[in-house]
């Protein structure tokens, strides 16, 4: 298990992107959170296996039907245990 921070750019706010990520994460049973950022991107912090991260990255690149993803940045984070479950957080910086 590893933790990765995802930052998704494009038309990703106001199109149900956070709920899309939430549903995908719930279906995979991974831990973490997702939120809108003030700069118009969507950010997610996810603890998952390498296989689950690869699957999630592909799904983030696709996005929900109303979105238009132009990029998915993925950064390795320190391996600290995240709280159990997956949440949608309030907008962040």
Catalytic residues: 18, 36
Q: How many CB atoms lie within 10 A of CB 93?
A: 7
Q: How many CB atoms lie within 10 A of CB 54?
A: 12
Compute the CA torsion angle 19, 79, 74, 44 (nearest 10 deg). Answer: 20
Longest CA–CA span in the chain (Å) reads 34
């Amino acid at each position: 298990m590893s933790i990765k921070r995802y930052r998704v750019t494009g038309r990703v706010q106001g199109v149900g992107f956070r709920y899309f990520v939430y549903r995908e994460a719930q279906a995979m049973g991974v831990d973490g959170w997702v939120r809108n950022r003030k700069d118009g991107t969507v950010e997610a912090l996810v603890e998952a296996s390498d296989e689950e991260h690869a699957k999630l990255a592909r799904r983030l690149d696709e996005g929900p039907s109303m979105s238009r993803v132009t990029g998915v940045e993925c950064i390795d984070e320190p391996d600290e245990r995240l709280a159990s479950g997956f949440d949608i957080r309030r907008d962040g910086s």
